[in-house]
Structure 1
Amino acid sequence: MNQNSPIKDCLVVLNRHADVIELGLSSSSEINSAGTAAQSIAALRQAMALRPSGEDGYRLHPRLREYLQDLMQTFPAYQSLAEIGSKVSQLAALWSEIDSLRGTADRATVEQLVDLLQTTVHDIGYAVDRNILMLQTRLSTRYGNVSSLQAKQSQNRWYQKQTTHLSGDLSRLAAQADRLERDASTRRMEGLATFLRRHLLGRILPWQESLSEMQSLIRKELFKTRQLEANHRHLAQMDMMLRQQPGWRGFEAGLNAEIPDILLAAVMPSFKPHAEPLDGDRQMADEMERLARTLAPREAAVEEEPQERKKITRDPPRAAPTTPGTEALGRLLAHVRAANEESFSLLRWRSADKDAQTMSPETWLVFAIMALRGRQHLVSLVRNDPRPGEKYAHSFGDAMVVRRTAGRTPPKVAS
């Protein structure tokens, strides 16, 4: 690595002036140049760790502040979610440039744009994961960092708006990622398509499900805080009334007043005992005997009249209709059984049969090959020459019917 690397110099400056960095992170106000060494401020400004704010004040770089907060796993009360809408638009712009330069000879620029697109995808994944982690942390700790019920309601409304914007950006991201993956597959950029499926398309649905669950929890929190606010208001009104009337003894109901039905004890329904056949109690046996006498008499079984047997007559099987193709196939099978030669060509045999000539040569070959192989006859394909630029042939122009011979291997037909 280069000894004069700016990254190394920046890290050395941050380490040397770590006390100023900590002050800028923990302090909500600006860093005053009067109370801090001018040398430290100049060095941190040169390393772009401080941004000017006001006439003589400075603030910590916002991205450095986010990094340190991620490191400390602390979030302020009103933390904004990382915005991904601009990065979604950047994905579409990068793919448009890649598509326009893909047909040119400038492969280095195309690879550079692909690397930038993949970096943008990683940035989106990191931003969404950080947003989900922050929301889960806030919900598990019930937000905190608030001192009143009004601040709690305001915080709930804040995160509800933030999650609504993030949900819309995720919907846009899903549509954009699906389009990019399909276009990359169509243009035979399988590496980029696989990257999009693995790092973006496969993670969008879990992101949306987690965000939907947290939106439901935030809505429940808003409802609970509204109920709690109403209860607090009623409690405050009761407290004020008791303070203004310290001698009040409470509510008194007249003895002649009609008592509401809801205050009366409910009458339970009467129990209906069920007979237990295995109970040996005499009282239970008498109860079962009484129940048996109240049952309706059993109906007498009516003997069914024997049904008259009917003779079923079946029509003789109809012969399958014959066609020129089936006629030609029958003669071909007879020729195979009676053939003396070891093999013969199906196309040459077709040229001598009128019924076989009613079908095109391609149809006849497929029809005859399937029929012969279905009857366990050996058929060898005569393959065509490979197409220019290919090693293997993928089509055939004829087929040879090979006659079985005991103790011999059928001859191989050259392709």
Structure 2
Amino acid sequence: MRTPADRRGQVEQILATLATHGLLVAEGLDGSVIPGDRPRNKAIDALAAIKALTPYEEGEYRLNPRLRDFISDHLQSYNAFQAFTRLSGNIRQARQEWREMYDLKADGEVAKAERMQWALDDTISEVVYVMDRNLNVLNSQLSTDYGNVESRRIKSRQNQFYDREINVCRAELNQLDELIKEIAEGAMAIGFHHVRSLINVRLMNRMLSWRSRLNDCQASISKQLGKALKVETKIKNLGRVALWLAQNKTSDGFQDIELDERAVALLLTPESLKFKWNLDASDTDPIVFECMTNAVAAMPPPRSKRLRSMRSRRLKRFSTLSRKRSRKSTTRLTCPSSGRPLS
């Protein structure tokens, strides 16, 4: 069985090999590593012995994907369509480790249950690391508007890709939430309070922050997709106008066409435009102003409704008074006692 001292020695040897051949590691980050002279081949063999370089094709080596991800995370340098690391495998592993620890505790094997707890702790730590890395990848891709793509269409497809990745990651967070509830309830039942505290501190307290950051990133992606749709519509309209101008080359006149006396007169005949002549009351041209003055003078004087209504009321009043006067003139007064007319 290896002791901790042996492990520390091996780790020191691995890091020393990486430091000695750092140029080859940097070369492998950009592409394939091809053998060459004797010192180069010796360095490649040393990196391949510690699995830092893996065979790719005949005479070619590639950098270990895990080492590549570690360097990319440190440099914040990712591919245009860098996929998220899935949480589903770690969630299944954590669930299995928790159920095994639960069964060991129920069988009275406390020592084995505590050792299984260390494995569960490592899995939970990896879940936290993977989720933080996914968010770092997403923020890095959103911050580079055209940093790792070559055109607007590729950028639009990149935004759609990460929009789908966010939806998958949100579904995995729902699975993680179910695991947290299962472990918290089971830990309370068997008295593993430190496991419940571990779950709450390492996972439960981060869930709200993770969901909030995912929502903010998805809102930003949706906004960029909306802008891209508007730009695409404008470009299509501009393309239609350019096509029309290309098909109608004389739409802007004949400034660039040289004509001489041999040109056919029929080709130069202007087309008549149909329009209806109308006067503008604000026109200050003397001829137009004189025409408008003569037209106004020839018109009959205006008769407003108010004058007509007043005249009709006066006529009614006059006729009423005249009828009353005619009645007074024909009526005679008589004496009540004798019945004779009064003078």
TM-score with structure 1 setting the length: 0.57
Matches within 5 A, 1:285-324: none
Distance apart, 1:34 and its partner CA: 4.3
How far apart in 1 are the matches of 2:116 and 2:275?
89
How far apart in 1 are the matches of 2:241 and 2:146?
30
**Letter aligned with residue 15 of structure 1:** A
Distance apart, 1:256 and its partner CA: 4.8
- Does residue 54 in structure 1 map to residue 57 in structure 2? yes
**Letter aligned with residue 99 of structure 1:** Y
SS class of match (1:102)? helix
Matches within 5 A, 1:167-206: 167-206=170-209
- Structure 1 residue runs without a partner (length 5+): 258-415
Matches within 5 A, 1:236-315: 236-249=239-252, 256=276
**Letter aligned with residue 200 of structure 2:** R
How far apart in 2 are the matches of 1:130 and 1:3?
27
**Letter aligned with residue 34 of structure 2:** N
Is the contact between residue 149 and residue 229 of structure 1 (CA under 8 Å) also seen in structure 2? no
**How has the CA–CA distance of structure 1 residues 11 and 254 changed in structure 2, closer, same or farther, with 3 Å as cutoff?**
farther
2:212 to 209, 214, 222: 209
How far apart in 1 are the matches of 2:193 and 2:225?
47
Cross-structure match for 2:77: 74
Distance apart, 1:3 and its partner CA: 9.0
**How has the CA–CA distance of structure 1 residues 120 and 227 changed in structure 2, closer, same or farther, with 3 Å as cutoff?**
same
Cross-structure match for 2:22: 18
Cross-structure match for 2:35: 33
How far apart in 2 are the matches of 1:33 and 1:166?
41
- Structure 2 residue runs without a partner (length 5+): 254-272, 278-343
Cross-structure match for 1:278: none
Cross-structure match for 1:221: 224
Is the contact between residue 76 and residue 140 of structure 2 (CA under 8 Å) also seen in structure 1? no
The structure with higher relative contact order (CA 8 Å, sep 6+) is 2
**Letter aligned with residue 248 of structure 1:** S
Matches within 5 A, 1:81-96: 81-96=84-99
**How has the CA–CA distance of structure 1 residues 60 and 223 changed in structure 2, closer, same or farther, with 3 Å as cutoff?**
same
SS class of match (1:51)? strand
Distance apart, 1:112 and its partner CA: 1.6
Distance apart, 1:12 and its partner CA: 0.8
**How has the CA–CA distance of structure 1 residues 189 and 246 changed in structure 2, closer, same or farther, with 3 Å as cutoff?**
same
Distance apart, 1:2 and its partner CA: 4.5
1:347-366 superposed Cα distances (whole Å, 9 cap, x missing partner): xxxxxxxxxxxxxxxxxxxx
Is the contact between residue 35 and residue 60 of structure 2 (CA under 8 Å) also seen in structure 1? yes
**How has the CA–CA distance of structure 1 residues 254 and 191 changed in structure 2, closer, same or farther, with 3 Å as cutoff?**
farther
How far apart in 1 are the matches of 2:247 and 2:191?
82
Cross-structure match for 1:163: 166
Cross-structure match for 1:371: none
Distance apart, 1:234 and its partner CA: 1.8
How far apart in 2 are the matches of 1:109 and 1:39?
45
Two-structure CA RMSD over aligned residues (Å): 2.4
Is the contact between residue 184 and residue 193 of structure 1 (CA under 8 Å) also seen in structure 2? yes
- Does residue 142 in structure 1 map to residue 142 in structure 2? no
How far apart in 2 are the matches of 1:59 and 1:43?
14
How far apart in 1 are the matches of 2:276 and 2:48?
85
How far apart in 2 are the matches of 1:16 and 1:254?
88
How far apart in 1 are the matches of 2:87 and 2:171?
10
Distance apart, 1:236 and its partner CA: 2.1
Which is worse superposed, 40-49 or 219-228? 219-228
Cross-structure match for 1:6: 10
Matches within 5 A, 1:378-393: none
How many pairs are equivalent? 254
Is the contact between residue 178 and residue 201 of structure 1 (CA under 8 Å) also seen in structure 2? no
**Letter aligned with residue 162 of structure 1:** E
1:178-198 superposed Cα distances (whole Å, 9 cap, x missing partner): 111111112111111011111
Is the contact between residue 177 and residue 196 of structure 1 (CA under 8 Å) also seen in structure 2? yes
Which is worse superposed, 230-239 or 47-56? 230-239
TM-score with structure 2 setting the length: 0.69
How far apart in 1 are the matches of 2:70 and 2:231?
36
How far apart in 1 are the matches of 2:101 and 2:79?
40
How far apart in 1 are the matches of 2:144 and 2:165?
18
How far apart in 2 are the matches of 1:161 and 1:31?
34
1:36-56 superposed Cα distances (whole Å, 9 cap, x missing partner): 821111100111101111222
How far apart in 2 are the matches of 1:167 and 1:106?
37
How far apart in 1 are the matches of 2:40 and 2:151?
39
How far apart in 1 are the matches of 2:102 and 2:7?
39
**Letter aligned with residue 63 of structure 2:** L
